[in-house]
Structure 1
């Protein structure tokens, strides 16, 4: 973050920091013939502004992102006001990070892991969260009133112009409770063993009735020398109260301007491994090599499972961070699928498809 405005070092004076990023993407996709013919495409990805402010024990954290219209345009990723009770305890209110799974990312690459595409990684919702950060234990408790509400109408579908995936269509997430507990162990190797759980209602516009949904996760992360390993096992169930004739085996989720279908009930298993190398190659100071794998096991027998694997390297050169990724997917909406039902019914005849992606960003 760049210190744009500061009123001295006194804790009782207001402080403001501004930062952000500008990113561009090169894409070469195995399933797009026009990209093969042209040798790929290079275009605008995203511009963002971050703001952090504090005054005495009250502080603010906000991030606004601007994508192209095709990917949802501009929207708030996060934005909350906090109060620090002590060095270990604080409360956040607003569009807060949802305490579920490995924080902040269950991945190392630009694409995230498969958990992100079902709203289970780097998710943000409207509510209140209490956070404790200790020497041996971390925990967080949250009440999330709803996902981002842009229309303020009970009978209006949620917009898909958002950063993280949420339920959209004829159902809406509401009155969700989250609990996350992490035990920290080790000296040379730093272990973080955790449990996460969430339970909430699904309000259906057509029936004016509340269904429910829940997710449970066990997660483990370890840092040893220059290695990092992240693993998660998750089980999820959605029980909407849809009108007659609508399938309860599928829910609709949306982000980046476009919705798609997701299996209502599934398990997810992920493993992400990375190793960091310090180098001295001109402006390049660090390389992080990684492989992130994710598997979505759908509980409906007629549905076909989904997979994702990303192999790549993050290149650090001053304030420029470049992700070079080879992302492969099977029944994956963003990796060669038909987008609509890859994460729900899937396709038995689907093939593994891949996208070579270079994301270049200047972070300030």
Structure 2
């Protein structure tokens, strides 16, 4: 993957964009983010364009290269088309946003969303539209720093067959604690989709897409995540820092006939100048990207499926 990240600023106006190039088999090239902003003062600013969605632990609910299971249902490191207002001070952070569309690449009405995108969004015969988001974080502590937060989002799902709007919503409680070089993250998420599908389509399953290929997810579910990490200064030749971590996620689907999906990643990342290297052992149960049946792991799943895993090393050079 090659990414181009232009940034610019002038008298309170600033630009932030990122375009990524993958192989055609992995979705090709697409815009991850691209927005302009205005900084009113040191505490308040506004962003417009393809902007980061304020939901859950910011910016990542994980430490590893694979993210956590929240990413695979559109709840981590997501970007949509709209406006966002951000406030940050010593004790509080909050953001409010309105999104007209997801990562819309084709503005012709009546056509399905393209799955060649960075973050997961609803695709196929339903389209995300008119979504509002709110994220609130209370910061407190001294020797031990805490970040306790609440997030919510609500939006419509426009169906191309029935030409009617269903809806979807998500709420989350999240908490982080920092103690010296330790960090712990926990999040509790409740998600529901209520599409207005045609008679031949189930309302218990949706399609989400990214990286050129869609898959199914359950319409209603809870997700629980827990992460821990520890940083070390090592100074071994070119190696400066190492961070060890474990990220766990459990997707419990509301429909009794659907089997759960789980994910656990144990690994570390190494900093050496402009090189950042992730070394991960990622294990999944009913997880589309970690073995099994790609199409329906996050929807019906396979009862009694085996845990499957990937060992992955990713080296990134940033300049």
- CA-CA distance at 1:155 after TM superposition: 1.2
Q: Which among 116, 119, 126 is matched to residue 161 of structure 1?
A: 116
Quick one: which of 120, 123, 143 aligns to 2:98? 143
The alpha-carbon deviation at position 51 of structure 1 amounts to 1.0
SS at match of 2:58: coil
Counterpart in the other structure of 1:98: 53
Q: Would you say 1:71 and 2:17 are equivalent positions?
A: no
Q: String of CA shifts for 1:138-197, please: whole Å, max 9, x gaps.
A: 000000001011121221100000000000000000000001100000111110000000
1:202-221: CA deviation from partner (whole Å, max 9, x where unpaired): 00000000000000000001
Structure 1 gaps, min length 5: 1-45
Counterpart of 1:271 in structure 2 is 226
* Structure 2 CA distance for aligned equivalents of residues 95 and 253 of structure 1: 18
What displacement does 1:350 show?
A: 1.2
Q: Distance in 1 between matches of 2:279 and 2:87?
A: 35
Match of 1:307 among 240, 258, 262: 262
Q: Secondary structure at the match of 2:33?
A: strand
Q: Secondary structure at the match of 1:185?
A: strand
Q: CA RMSD in A?
A: 0.6
Equivalent residue for 1:132? Answer: 87
Partner of 2:312 in structure 1? 357
Give the alignment's TM-score, normalised by structure 2: 0.99
1:307 positional shift: 0.2
1:307-361 per-residue CA deviation (whole Å, 9 max, x = no partner) reads 0000001011111011000000000000012100000000013100010000011
Q: Structure 2 stretches of 5 or more lacking a match? A: none
Asked if 1:282 corresponds to 2:237, the answer is: yes
Matches of 2:169 and 2:280, distance apart in 1: 32
CA contact (8 A) 1:154 1:205 kept: no
Q: State the shift of 1:245 in Å.
A: 1.9
- Structure number with greater Rg is 1
Looking at structure 1, the residues matched to 29 and 176 of structure 2 have their Cα atoms a distance apart, in angstroms, of 33
User: Which runs of structure 2 are paired with 1:113-262 in the superposition (5 Å)?
Assistant: 113-262=68-217
Q: Secondary structure at the match of 2:240?
A: strand
Provide, for residues 47-92 of structure 1, a one-character-per-residue CA deviation record: whole Å limited to 9, x for no partner.
0011110111111000111011111010010000001111100000
In 1, the alpha carbon distance for the partners of 2:56 and 2:135 equals: 8
Q: How far apart, in 2, do the equivalents of 1:187 and 1:67 lie?
A: 43
Give 3-state SS (helix, strand or coil) of 1:334's partner: helix
Q: Work out whether residues 140 and 180 of structure 1, in 8 Å CA contact, stay in contact via their aligned partners in 2.
A: yes
Runs of 4+ in structure 1 over 4 Å off: none
Aligned to 2:301: 346
